[in-house]
Structure 1
Amino acid sequence: MSVVRGSSLSGYQSLVDELGGDSVALLHAAGIDPGDVGEYEVFVPYRSLIVAVETAAAATTTTDFGRRLALRQGIEILGPLGVAARTAATVGDAFHIVETFLAAYSPAIAVRFEPAATTGQAFYAFDIVIERPPPHAQTTELSLGVSLRVLRFLLGASYAPLSVHLTHEPLTATEDYLRYFGCRAYFAQPAAGFTVRTADFARPLTQDALAHQAVVQYLTGITGRHTGMTQSVRTMVRQLLPTGAASLELVAAQFDLHPKALHRRLSAENTTFGELIDSVRRETAEHYLCDTDISLSHLTRELGYAEQSVLSRSCSRWFGCGPSSYRRTVRSG
């Protein structure tokens, strides 16, 4: 099962309780520890997020639950990703950052921009990339609501896209969607998202170049400059390496894919699982050997190796010498 930061459920408990529901019982039933809700540093299964949101809407008979929950969230739920976005030079740069590094927040979702049929317009699409997700109309509306909140944070409180597109039938009166999103809603569409003016994305932001560079460097370190399934797999591998369980089968299961299906997706992006895990291990080892005083036994565990001798052989292959020699060389240079 793929994962998402616990901050994705910020405001959930207070909203459910205000609506007369039992948030703790609903979270437990969805397989989520209530203590993880709102915590950026904690991951929760994305399927559990869907179950928690959808069952809360049903239990409280609140047909616009997803939209209501979005009003209690904002760019801050994205953690460092949100910092990188709001310190970018333009709105377009901000959303490029989100598109590139979204896997740091959740490898289960993806956003992309596509040219629209009309000149001067683009389509911002939101996708859930896990296989066969349960019904998730409320979760989609939550995600679109949060995306709108981010747009309004960057473009002003009165900003409205040209149109909003939903993959399901309306959950409430269509007039509610017009009031909420400030634009016409289209239902039962092939993709969820917004049609926007490309000119809006050229608008400058109050850039903080130093903060932006620092956070982007951090995000690059934990995700790598990769896209699509490659980026998502790299993020998952980095999380699983210290457990010693970063196998093709387990990572495929995180995305609800058969191992052969994951292999085909990675092949389409000109890589293999073996190449990715080796690359992540090398980058992680290089970081720890160059920038920290972590012990070699600790580094061995961090890379998911059973014995330190395996670390030594890997470093000889990567760097031409053992880990201690490599550390001394880079620090003396």
Structure 2
Amino acid sequence: MTLIRGTCLVGFPELMRDLGADPEPVLRASGIALDAVGDIDSFVGYSHVMDTLESAARVTGAPDFGLQLAQRQDMDILGPVSAVALSAPTVGEGIAAIGRYLAFYSRGLRVSLAATDQPERVLLGLAFMIEDPPAHRQTTELTLGLTLKIMRLLSDSRPLCVHVPHDPVSAPDTYERHLGAQVRFAEPSMGFTLRTRDLDRPLGHGGELHRCVTSYLDRALADEPPSDERSDLVASVTTLVRHLLPTRRLMIGVVAAHLALHPKTLQRQLAAQGHTFDQLVDSVRRDVAGKLLRDTDMPLGQISGLLGYSEQSTFSRRCRHWFAASPRAARLALRVSAEVN
């Protein structure tokens, strides 16, 4: 099971009570101990957190529960990862430090920076690295809301756009109030479009503090037992594939270039771990398709385009392979399954 530190739920009990609900039954039903909430030394199942937040939104009648919870949290929930980011010389290096050391907080979340077709813009991508996760729109919105607060702390600027991978679950002005930036819904992945120049802004002074925290985190991660989750290489390829799907530039050469590898080297390293590039692409497409069918009312032709297919008929064939049903039937079945669970 993919784990995350208990600080991910800082503010949860207080928000539940402020909204007139008892947090303990919700936590108990999801298998999370109350004393683990807010504790940096405790770990809880990431899928359990997702279940908890979805249940909390239903119990409290607050569809913006995740966004509200983000307002009660700050960068400190990351522990020493926040210190290594804030002491980095530039904003870009601070984000890179978070991406490198986020495994200290959880291996279930990945952060990446990717170029766009416009040199003045860059995509800050976020992805849950959990196989077959439960419905998690509230966790997505909590993650986006908190990341936005972190970005404002680092760069003192707003993103050009917030990318939400599902249809709105609250009124549009609710997102504007919480996020204060342009929001696009039903996107193929979650993240932010940033100004490239913002990454060059001076941040910390590097120096002794940065070196000490970096050394501590290097040792902490090196001392961890081998993870039974997907390798960092596979996780990185999966993240890049997810972002490149709608660009129609999804080729192994493009992904390899992002990883500073020759395409043949990438193929060889993936094969050594029992994967092929094509298999990973198909797996990502299945995951994205399932979420868009379940969580949005997006037309099937548009979903097909976001998956990188030039013909909707290709999407229909793959959908039958993935879900043993047509896209429309799969959408119904996925929604029924989410309601039952």
Shift in alpha-carbon separation, 1:95–1:29, aligned structure 2, 3 A: same
Counterpart contact for 1:6–1:37, Cα < 8 Å: yes
| Cα distance in 2 between the residues matched to 1:266 and 1:133 | 29
Residue 203 of structure 1 corresponds to 201
Could you give the per-residue CA deviations for residues 93-134 of structure 1, whole angstroms, max 9, x where no partner exists?
A: 100001111111100110101112222100111100111100
Q: Does 1:22 align with 2:22?
A: yes
* Structure 1, gaps ≥5 residues long: 225-233, 239-250, 254-264, 273-333
| Cα distance in 1 between the residues matched to 2:111 and 2:105 | 12
Residue 226 of structure 2 corresponds to 237
Residue 268 of structure 1 corresponds to 270
One-letter code aligned to 1:188: A
Residue 219 of structure 1 corresponds to 217
Shift in alpha-carbon separation, 1:208–1:46, aligned structure 2, 3 A: same
Q: Does 1:39 align with 2:39?
A: yes
| Cα distance in 2 between the residues matched to 1:105 and 1:236 | 15
Counterpart contact for 1:103–1:235, Cα < 8 Å: no
| Cα distance in 2 between the residues matched to 1:112 and 1:104 | 16
Structure 1 moving runs of 4+ over 6 Å: none
One-letter code aligned to 1:59: V
One-letter code aligned to 1:171: V
Task: Name the SS for the 2:117 alignment partner.
Answer: coil
| Cα distance in 1 between the residues matched to 2:110 and 2:15 | 26
Residue 62 of structure 1 corresponds to 62
Counterpart contact for 2:2–2:47, Cα < 8 Å: yes
Shift in alpha-carbon separation, 1:33–1:124, aligned structure 2, 3 A: same
| Cα distance in 2 between the residues matched to 1:84 and 1:252 | 25
Counterpart contact for 2:123–2:194, Cα < 8 Å: yes
Counterpart contact for 2:64–2:174, Cα < 8 Å: no
Q: Does 1:119 align with 2:119?
A: yes
| Cα distance in 2 between the residues matched to 1:20 and 1:140 | 23
Could you give the per-residue CA deviations for residues 244-269 of structure 1, whole angstroms, max 9, x where no partner exists?
A: xxxxxxx259xxxxxxxxxxx99518
One-letter code aligned to 1:219: L
1:155 deviates by 2.1
Match of 2:180 among 174, 182, 186: 182
Q: How do residues 108-187 of structure 1 correspond to structure 2 at under 5 angstroms?
A: 108-156=108-156, 159-187=157-185
Counterpart contact for 1:11–1:69, Cα < 8 Å: yes
* Structure 2, gaps ≥5 residues long: 231-266, 275-341
1:201 deviates by 1.1
Root-mean-square deviation (Å)? 2.6
Aligned residues: 242
Residue 259 of structure 1 corresponds to none
Counterpart contact for 1:9–1:38, Cα < 8 Å: yes
Could you give the per-residue CA deviations for residues 120-149 of structure 1, whole angstroms, max 9, x where no partner exists?
A: 100111100111100100100000011011
1:208 deviates by 4.8
How does the TM-score come out when normalised to structure 2? 0.67
Shift in alpha-carbon separation, 1:216–1:266, aligned structure 2, 3 A: farther
Shift in alpha-carbon separation, 1:9–1:118, aligned structure 2, 3 A: same
Task: Name the SS for the 2:8 alignment partner.
Answer: helix
